Amino acid sequence: MMPYSEEESRALLERAKKFFGPAPSEGTRSCSPLSSTSAAPSNSCLSPTHLLNLVGVPASKSYTESWIKNSSSQNKMNETYCYEISQNEKTIDKNQELVRSLKYQIRMLEEQGDSPALIDSKRNEMLLYQKKISDAEAALINRGPCPIETCTKHHEITKDASMEVESGQYGNHYSDFKLVSPKKAAKIRNDVIKSPIKTSNKFNELTNLDENKPLIPTINLKMDANYNLILQEINRLYPETENKLIRGFINIKTNSLENREGIINLLKKNGKEFILSESNEDRPLKVVIKYLPVDQDKDALKNILEENGFKILRIGQLKNYRLKTPYPYFLVDVIKTPNHLNIYNIKTINHLKVKIESYRKKNRATICFKCSGFHHSAKNCECLPKCIKCAGRHETRNCEIKTIIENPICITCNGEGHLASWRGCPKFPKINKTPAKSTYAQKLKINLTPHIPPTNSEKITEPAEHLSNSDTGDFQEIRNALQTVKNALNEFPNLLEISKLLNKAKDKFEKLNLLIQLIN
C-alpha cells in the first residue's frame, strides 16, 4: 500500500478534527478503559493523529472515508426519525384536545334537546379525529424508540450519564451546561398537597340563578264572590302557582308557559273575567316619525318600512283633539326583531329628511276601549264589554249614541255631568309625578347660603312694597262682588236649584216659568 502524501494527510487530519473534536492536551488525564461502559476505548478519547495511524494499517484510505461518510449520514437519519416521532406526538396531543372538546359539545347539545342532525355531525367529526390519533400511534409503534440516546425529549437521563456530565471528564465540551455553587442552586422540594381553605360566600346563592330564564307574564283574575273556588281548582291542577291580591285583581304567577295556557283555558271555560299581562319582549317598539307630509298615506309608509326589513304592527297619525287637526307626526308600532333598533338609523323617506324618536307616553292612566277599565289595553282584556256612554254590555265604538250627551252619567263614580274618561272624576286614577331630584351642587348651595330671619320692621313693610294701589282696588272689588252673591243667596234660597233646572230647560217658556218661581 502506498503511504499518504503530506497534503492528503493534512486534509484527512482536518476532517478528523471537525468530526471528533480537538485532541486532548498533554496536561489532561488519559482515557481509562475502566471508566467506559464498553471494553473498547471510545473514539472521542483518540487523537486525530492516532486515528490516522489506525487507518494507516492495511485497512486502506477508502475505508476510512466511507466510514466517516456513513457516520454523518446516519446522524442525519437519526435526526429525521426524532423529528418524525415529535410530529406524531404533537398530532396525537392536538387531536385528543379536539376529541375532548367535541365530547363536551355533544353532551351539552343532548341536554338542551338540540336537533339530532347536528349531534350526528359532531360525532362524525369526533370519529375523524380519533382515526388520526390511531394512525399516529400506529406510526410511533412501527418507528420504534428514538435512535438518539442523548435526546432529552424521548429518553430519560440515567444516573451514570448525569454523573459523567457533572464530572466534566466525558461530557460535551461545546454544551451550554454550567456548574453553579450549591448556594445558588435551587433545592429540590417535595410537592405537598395542601388541603383547601374553607371559605364562606354570602353571595353564593346568586351563582344558581338562571339569567337566560325568560319571565313568564302573569294572569290578573277579577275578584268576585266565588273567587276561592276557582283558586282551589287552579291550585289542584297547578300546585306551583303563586297568587297575590293587587288593586282588586288576583295576580296569578305560573312557572311555565304551558301552565299559563292551561289556566287561561280553565278561566275561559268557567266564564271568569281576567286581564293578561304582557312581557317586555312581546310589546312593540313605539317610535314617532316627524317631518313627513300631513297627507302621507299610511299604507305606503308601512310598505316602505317593511321593504327595509322591519315588521310593522300598526301606524297612526297624531292629532290635536281640541282643534281636530292632524300633526305631521306618525306613531309606528315596530315588532321586536334582531334588527328592530336599526329603525333609528333611517334619515330619509321618499327623499325627505325625517327624524325618528322614541314615543314619549303621557304620564296618566290608560283606559281600556273594551271594558272601560284602567291600567290595561283592549288587546289583553278578557273582561265583559262595557260602554262608557250608556253602561251597556257592548264596546263604546259599537254604541248607538253618536251625538254629544248633555248630562252624561259616569259608570265609575255614578256622578252626573261627566264620563269615566274625564280626569277630574274622583275615581280616575291619579299617578304621582316624582319630583326631580336636586343635584349635589344645588344642595350644597342651599346649605352654604346663610338664613337671615327678617326683623319686625321688614315684616311690616314687605306687603306694602309688593302690593300696589291697583292690586288693592281689584281685591276690594272682588270682595264686594262676593258679598253681593252671598246676600242674593240669603234672599233667594232656591237660587241654586233653579239654576240647575235652567240648564235642563228645553224652550224659553220653561225658563221663564222657572224665573217666576224664583221671584215668588
- The pLDDT value recorded for residue 464 is 43
The better pLDDT of the pair 364, 384 is held by: 384
Question: Which one is the CATH code of 285-358: 3.30.70.330, 1.10.20.140, 3.90.1150.10, 3.90.550.10?
Answer: 3.30.70.330
- Do the beta carbons of residue 376 and residue 248 sit within 8 Å? no
**What average pLDDT score do residues 430-442 get?**
71
pLDDT digits (tens, 9 = 90+) for 460-493: 444 444 444 455 556 677 777 777 777 777 777 7
H/E element, 186: none
Could you state, in order of their start, the residue ranges of all structural domains in the chain?
70-143, 219-276, 285-358, 488-519
Whether residue 278 has pLDDT greater than 80: yes
- Do the beta carbons of residue 204 and residue 259 sit within 8 Å? no
d(CA 426, CA 428): 6
- Do the beta carbons of residue 50 and residue 42 sit within 8 Å? no
Q: Name the percent of the chain lying above pLDDT 90.
A: 23
- The pLDDT value recorded for residue 12 is 63
pLDDT digits (tens, 9 = 90+) for 330-363: 999 999 998 999 999 999 999 999 999 999 887 7
d(CA 251, CA 234): 13
pLDDT level of residue 315 (50, 70, 90 thresholds): very high
3-state secondary structure of 417: coil
Helix boundaries (H) for 40-191: 48-55, 61-112, 116-143, 159-167
Entry pTM: 0.43
Q: Could you tell me the three cell numbers for 516?
A: 217666576
- Do the beta carbons of residue 341 and residue 290 sit within 8 Å? no
- Do the beta carbons of residue 60 and residue 1 sit within 8 Å? yes
